[in-house]
Amino acid sequence: MTGAAVSQPVEQQERSVGLWGDALRRMRGSPAAIIGGAIIIFFVLMAIFAPFIAPYDPTRGDLGSSYLPPSGEHFFGTNVQGQDVFSRIIFGSRLTLGIAVMSVTIGVTVGSVLGALAGYFRGWIDATIMRGVDIMLSIPGLLLAIAVVSWLGRGAVQIAIAIAIVNVPIFARILRGSLLALRDADYVIAAKSVGVGGPALLLRHMLPNAIGPLIVQATLALATAVVDAAALGFLGLGPPDPRTPEWGAMLSDTYRYLTDAVHLAFFPGIAIVLAVLGFNLLGDGMREALDPKLRR
């Protein structure tokens, strides 16, 4: 962590390609990152262009055409409501990705602020924040999310907040850990010795170098957020209008009809698996790309 990090961001900022350029270059060499990224781009495009791709309105159903098997007309078949499963999966990506991104953004923001305060100031601030973090980490994540959703009510934003709350302590702890490791780094001591202090030291010298693990964790957290959102949907805590396409809710809607139509559970299941796989591969690739020890 020491030698390479010292030379890169502080003194040679103009000349070097920078953290991101370097990371991107290295990720291009990692098959995992490429495949993961491709899957995620695929889902993002799907979410953006959902109205153009989806052949049917995902919320409109015709009971007369329920349980149709996959065919040229309905690629993934229809569910009990006669809604087109293919269209629902496409539109479902909007909700799922939206919840994932929103929850991780909130989680990273709040978590980083808490982690930075704890890691920079130490003392009683650190102790207070970290004990709070310990308490939250001791509660199983999904259980905490369920409790938050029951408290806030049902809805996409509420779900995002619930998952964010689960993530906050993780991010806080990671950033604090990174900052603690950097306190005694040569370039930090050097900056201090020339009189840099306070927020400038934290924001300009320490944070940029501590942010790598956070990014990796954020990418991986997107994967868990997808699973958590699906789990909440499966448990009936998804969006209040049951017609809203949501992958987890699509799974739980089908279990009563599983013996009649396996495809109903299969396709949303595969969508969840693929999205999670994509974020995980991307996260792994990023971890390698951002790890200075592995830099060639």
Partner 1 sequence: MSNWRWFSVFAVLILVLAACGDPGTSAAPGESDDPPASGSDASEPPATDGGAGGEPQTGGTLVFGGAALAASLDPALTSDGESFRILQQIYEPLVDLVPGTVDELEGVLAESWTGEPEDTEYVFTLKEGVTFHDGTPFNAEAVKTNFDRWQTFAEEFQGNAYYYGAVMDGFGPDNLIASVEATDEMTVTITLREASPTFLFGIALTPFSIVSPAVLEATSADDPATSTLGTDTVQGGTGPFVMEEYIPDDSATLVRNDDYHGEHTAYLDRLIIRPIADPAARLQALQGGSVQGFDLIAPGDREAVDGADGLKLVNRESYNTLYLGVNPTATDDSSLADLAVRQAVAHAIDREALIEAFYGGGGSPADIFLPPTSGWFDSVGEGAEVYEYDPEAATDLLEEAGFDADNPATVNFWYPTEVTRPYMPDPQGLHQAVTTMLEDAGFEVEPGSAIWGTEYIPAAQNGEYDLHFLGWTGDFDDPSNWYGVHFGYAQGEPAAQFGCDVDGLEAAIDEAESTLEEEARGAAWSEVAQLVHNEVCFVTLVHGDTAIALTDQVQGYVANPTGSESFLDVWLSGE
Q: Give the footprint of partner 1 on this chain (CB under 8 A).
A: 31-32, 35, 59-61, 63-64, 66, 69-70, 76-77, 80-82, 236, 240-243, 253, 255-260, 262-263, 266-267, 270, 273-274, 277, 281, 284
The burial class, CB within 10 Å (0-12 / 13-18 / 19+), for 274 is middle
Q: What is the DSSP letter of 185?
A: -
Looking at beta carbons only, is 131 or 256 nearer to partner 1? 256
CB of 83 to partner 1, least distance (A): 9
CB of 69 to partner 1, least distance (A): 4
Distances (CA, A) of 137 to 130, 140, 141: 10, 7, 8
CB of 30 to partner 1, least distance (A): 8
> Terminus-to-terminus CA distance in the chain, angstroms?
14
At 57, which helix (H) or strand (E)? Answer: none
- Select 122 or 243, whichever has its Cβ closest to partner 1: 243
Of 115 and 268, CB closest to partner 1: 268
Largest distance between two CA atoms of the chain: 77
CA dihedral of 34, 35, 36, 42, whole degrees rounded to 10: 110
AA letter at 294: L
The Cα 279–Cα 269 span in angstroms is 16
Q: Which is nearer to partner 1, 211 or 274 (CB)?
A: 274
With respect to partner 1, which residue has the nearer C-beta, 81 or 96? 81
Distance of closest approach, residue 279 Cβ to partner 1, in angstroms: 13
**Residue 280 CB, nearest approach to partner 1 (Å):** 10
